[in-house]
Amino acid sequence: MRWTPGGNSPDVEDRRGEGGGRRFGLGAGRLGLGGVVVLLILSLVFKQNFFSLVGIGGGDTEAAPAGPVTASPEEEKLKQFINFVLDDVQASWDKVLPEQSGTAYQHAHLVLFRDGIESACGLAESATGPFYCPGDHKVYVDLGFFQELADRFGAPGDFGQAYVLAHEIGHHVQLLLGTEAKMRQLQGEHPAQAKELSVRFELQADCYAGVWGSSAAQRGELDPGDSDEGLNAAAAVGDDRIQRMTTGHVSPEAFTHGSAEQRSQWFRQGLRTGKVSACDTFAAP
């Protein structure tokens, strides 16, 4: 992806040096490395803290002290990339959202943290992966996730990283359009359909990420192969792939984000059309 390093976005909050994080206590040692890996992947999939179920990240942990931000050159470069992508995604929605929906876009913030930090949605922990909190209109990201995306999920490349960020901003777009509130209402009225509604909600955010990708392509920001990187990242975090990694079998009834095929299909839909109207996953078969 073609980007310019060195910028600092006013919408990025670097809170990596704050003391809101946690250290693993004895529970992590008792669990073993293999168990920690399984719980990490499950937490990324379902966006719940599975470590707390075995007493890790709960009572046997202690708060990490606050301190200055220290980072490797590689991490600082990744931070600059995130600043660029966030600004680019939101500048795109500044134009696209009012033009295509008549709704003004309002900027979200992105919080960089390490280990854990408090959010309006509760404790944000690195084990849960990047997420958007509608309570404070912020995306929470531990930079370590992007190494996991490349190494464990087999999705390297900067445009794959950009897809993840654009997906989370897609949730912010859903909040601004009222989709998030409608989806929560429907889940309350039809609890048996809660997981299906969640899948459609997540797939729409994938499509919105593609809408931004289409805009970036039109502005000449994508290199050859970038679209494939993004599609690979979308497929890599499909529920079926992660279930197979963690349990050895696939249970579609437990999906919350969609299959690898569904996620890449809807990301491609946004890339191909560049249209918000083409992302109505709730009306799709």
Indicate whether 43 belongs to any domain.
no
User: Beta strands 12-14 and 122-125: pairing type?
Assistant: unpaired
The structure's pTM equals 0.82
Domain count, the chain: 1
Expressed as residue numbers, the domain containing 257 is 12-21+64-279
Is the CB of residue 242 less than 8 Å from the CB of residue 257? no
Indicate whether 256 belongs to any domain.
yes
Predicted confidence (pLDDT) per residue in 245-266, tens digit: 888 889 988 898 999 999 999 9
Predicted confidence (pLDDT) per residue in 91-145, tens digit: 999 999 999 999 999 999 999 999 889 999 998 888 888 999 999 999 999 988 8
Indicate whether 285 belongs to any domain.
no
Per-residue tens of pLDDT for the chain, all 285 residues: 988 887 789 999 999 988 554 433 333 333 444 444 455 565 655 555 554 444 444 433 344 445 566 778 888 999 999 999 999 999 999 999 999 999 999 999 999 999 889 999 998 888 888 999 999 999 999 988 888 888 888 888 899 999 999 999 999 999 999 999 999 999 999 999 999 999 999 999 999 999 999 999 999 999 999 999 999 899 988 989 888 988 888 998 889 899 999 999 999 999 999 999 999 999 998
